[in-house]
Copies of this chain bind each other. A is one copy, B any other.
Amino acid sequence: MLSNDEQLARLALSSAFEPGDESIGALVAEFGPAELIDRLRTEPNEPDLGRFGRRWQSHNWLQDAAIELERALDDGIEIISPGTPDWPTQLDDLHERAPLVLRKKGPLGLRQAASRSVAVVGARAATQYGVWVAEEMCAQLASAGWCVISGGAMGIDAASHRGALALNGPTIAVSAAGANLAVPASNHSLFARLFAEGAVISEVPIGANPNRRRFLVRNRVIAALAPVVVVVEAALRSGALSTMREADAMGRMLCAVPGPTTSALSAGCNELIRSGGATLVRNADDVVAEVLRVSDDPGSLAQNAATINLFEQRVIDLCTPRSMSVENIAQGVGVSVEACTATLHLLERSGFVMRTVKGWRATSVGPR
């Protein structure tokens, strides 16, 4: 656990300075948050501190942080920072641009959910096609236990969260506003469900409004959290594509949903696929196959493929190509429902089967 001092220091720094600033990130990395604040307070004109000294002196940020911390406790908002148990270590791939601290509203454990997650992004002005694909894909991902990470915006973002929530799956919105706010207001009921069942995380203070810059730098957090980023619909110049570039720079796997060449909102996706920048994905199965392909986790496809036994193979075969109830699978392989359920859970963890509305179904990963 972190000392209250460090927690407070990070909150104060993230209130005083806009997120995603490499220079502040570098100073925190060099001195640690508490010592950096000491320096900002005592030597504000030190050249190393650049313009930050003056900004720090202009306001009592530590007092703001204390007030925010109190408010967080009152509102059930968690403060997560490097070193706290719920910090997702993949954010460290952002190095100096990593969030100083995150606020989280919602019951979902951030670190655990992000450890098995897919980021889904796309246009705000999405078409019906894009919305349908995002909802369907994210419902399938959720049913297989993958957490859907998106931005909480209108269009593809909202459809992705909705799809996951439709099957009560885990989903996290990375907001450009304070974690307690429903922004945009039109997504009010979506945020109500995210607060109650998923999570909304943010690197700006509780209650803070978003702005253009915050929307842009927020994208790097979405890109960093998951091993794979899927763009469902995106115009040629768009925020979604900027998220893809962030993800690419961090070595994340890029996936794109193809669309009609006549649709401006598929132009970004088709271009990414054409240039070889992204793999074409059609559905959750395709996405899961990519995740497992790039995963270096011991539970990854490559290692499990060899160790799958004959009994497990029979279970997989029974729910290929259609979903089967656990009862029917158990009967088919001649074991108890309990034993069969345990095997299915193991197979699910390795990505060979997924939960569906009708029971269990093999993913397309196995036979490849």
Contact = CB atoms under 8 A, between A and B. Distances in A.
Interface stretch (A156-164, A272-280, A349-357): A272-280
A356 B138 CA distance: 43
Interface residues of A, number: 19
A17 interface: no
Interface string A267-294: 0001001100001111100100000000
Contact of A133 (B129, B261, B274): B261
A280 B270 contact: yes
Interface of A: 129, 132-133, 257-262, 266, 270, 273-274, 279-283, 286
A279 B258 CA distance: 13
A132 B262 contact: yes
The 9 closest A-B pairs by CB, nearest first: A258-B258, A261-B282, A274-B280, A273-B280, A129-B260, A258-B270, A270-B282, A259-B260, A133-B261
Contacts of A279: 274
15 contacts: A133-B260, A133-B262, A257-B261, A258-B258, A258-B260, A258-B266, A258-B270, A258-B273, A258-B280, A259-B259, A259-B260, A260-B260, A270-B282, A274-B281, A280-B280
